Amino acid sequence: MGLFDKMKEPVFLKESSEAEMQLEKLSELEPLLNPEGQAKIRQDIKCLEYGIAGEKNIAFELKNSHMPMYILHDIYLECGDLSAQIDYLVFTRKICFVIECKNLYGDIEINNTGDFVRTIEIGGKKKKEGIYSPITQNQRHLELMKKVKVDKKNNILTKFMLERYFDDFYKSVVVLANPKTVLNAKYAKKEVKEKVIRTDQLVSYIKEMYKQSKESGESDERLLSWANSYLELHKEVEKNYINKYDSYKIGENLLKPIEAEAVTEAAVAISAGSIEDSEIFQELKAYRLMKSREEKIKPYYIYNDNQLKDLIIKMPRKKEELTSVAGFGEAKVNKYGDDILKILGKY
């Protein structure tokens, strides 16, 4: 560690995620699907939102750790036929923490053989099911990280040293991001227990592992170089998230209002292509921006432009009618419904 190192706080070198882009695309597509398609896509959107919320909880903890560290979010690595999507890489001066975020629902038990068993309640009856071990999943991520680095070295001695000491510098940890998840690991082996923690334990876990490490700390310059060495390996992979919904598409101009007589001036403006210039569009857009800044989230999390147009076409007057608008579930209606209905009531 350098004498004149100035880094004191965490820094995100990559904060965006593929899940956020996928959510945006699905939210834009939802109003263009028939009722069956909307039901399917809403379920997918709900799962995505859960996952994103879990990762945001981790980001919040890391940002408030007050430790010098570089953070990479949602890194995709490839080596030959192998690939890995890594939720977080956290580079401290001594250790890189490879974090697998799991926003699991139900009660999770880890038995003495390391198996993960989930218990969920359906219709008043409890059902147990095995789930793929996130520890095994994350270990494969580490193995690929090692392979990528080793394959890039030409010197035999350097390759040997990297393989020999890799585990001293890279630690796997699975973070359960759902605060409602009940974890029972009393029969799990110690080495398994140590790799599964809750979100609110993450920072203390990192600090404790850092304290226990006997490695010398890296300087600001070398720490940044270490983190960048993996950022440079990240590959942007284009994935088509919407092909599976092609059979449910009805076209943008076939959206039906709640009542036949509810074809408003705003709806006419949409068909004329001037909706974005209308007062109601601009007011709803301004409200979206204001709330997103208050909550420190992206505006499209509240509603995107296609959902905004669907909102104007249907012109709901009651909260129950709001749920028929694309992207508006019960939670969103309860949170923003009164404000939105107040705006719509002016037109």
Contact 55, 17 (CB under 8 A): yes
Place of tokens 């699905």: 26
The pLDDT-based confidence of 162 (bands split at 50, 70, 90) is confident
pLDDT for 292: 86
pLDDT for 259: 43
The pLDDT-based confidence of 271 (bands split at 50, 70, 90) is very low
Q: Tens digits of per-residue pLDDT, 272-284?
A: 445 676 788 888 9
- In this predicted structure, the answer to whether residue 182 has a pLDDT above a threshold of 80 is yes
Which of the residue ranges 169-183, 247-261, 286-300, 323-337 has the most confident prediction, judged by mean pLDDT? 169-183
Q: Tens digits of per-residue pLDDT, 99-112?
A: 999 988 888 999 99
Which of the residue ranges 190-204, 241-255, 283-297, 326-340 has the most confident prediction, judged by mean pLDDT? 190-204
How confident is the model over 111-131, as a mean pLDDT?
88
- In this predicted structure, the answer to whether residue 268 has a pLDDT above a threshold of 70 is no
Q: How many CA atoms lie within 13 A of 308 on its CB side?
A: 23
Residue 156 or 68, more confident: 68
The reply to whether the predicted model has a pTM over 0.85 is no
Q: Give the distance from CA 211 to its chain's centroid.
A: 29
The pLDDT-based confidence of 255 (bands split at 50, 70, 90) is very low
Which of the residue ranges 4-8, 80-84, 185-189, 200-204 has the most confident prediction, judged by mean pLDDT? 200-204
Distances from the Cα of 133 to the Cα of 87, 118, 326, 334, angstroms = 16, 11, 35, 36
Nearest to 97 by CA among 227, 232, 1: 227
Kindly state the tokens that stand for 317.
């007057």
CA distance 13 to 118: 35
Residue ranges, comma separated, of all CATH 1.10.150.80 domains in the chain are 255-344
How confident is the model over 257-284, as a mean pLDDT?
58
Average pLDDT, the chain: 86
The pLDDT-based confidence of 157 (bands split at 50, 70, 90) is confident
pLDDT for 139: 94
Place of tokens 């709901």: 316
- In this predicted structure, the answer to whether residue 324 has a pLDDT above a threshold of 90 is no
255-344 maps to CATH 3.40.50.300: no
pLDDT for 5: 67
- In this predicted structure, the answer to whether residue 142 has a pLDDT above a threshold of 60 is yes
pLDDT for 242: 83
